[in-house]
Amino acid sequence: MDAALPRTRTGRIWTYVGDDDHPFTVYDYTPNRSRDGPEAFLQEFRGYLQADAYSGYDHFYAGSQRGIVEVACWAHSRRKHYEAQSSDLMRSTLMLA
């Protein structure tokens, strides 16, 4: 804590989970939510990237030359189906089941 600041700071901790070939979890701090942090960390990355629906990631998936394949987040998908119950109860409940 910095007593000279009038309030606490808000930053982001980006979590990167490895795979069988890279069995590590890395936490990377940035002072804001801009895509600059993930852009720098993932600069050389090629493969499957599972992330939430944060629009800052969209440019990673644009164009196949980047070599990153988007893998959607089931939690975010499920939430949209849950929210759809107010407009289409039958189909949204079927999807949730």
In a domain, 7, yes or no: no
Tell me the pLDDT of the chain (97 aa) as tens digits: 567 777 777 889 999 999 898 899 999 999 988 889 999 999 999 999 888 777 888 888 887 788 999 888 788 788 889 999 999 999 999 999 9
* Contact by Cβ (8 Å): 35, 14: no
Residue 92 placed within a domain: no
- Asked, for residue 46, whether it belongs to a domain, the answer is yes
What is the total count of domains within the chain? 1
Domain that holds residue 23: 12-72
Residue 61 forms part of a structural domain: yes
| Domain-located, residue 77 | no
23 within domain boundaries: yes
Q: What is the pLDDT of residue 29?
A: 95
- How deeply is 38 buried, as exposed, middle or buried, from its count of CB atoms within 10 A (0-12, 13-18, 19+)? buried
pTM beyond cutoff 0.75: no
Number of residues written out for the chain: 97
Look at residue 89 and tell me if it is in a domain.
Answer: no
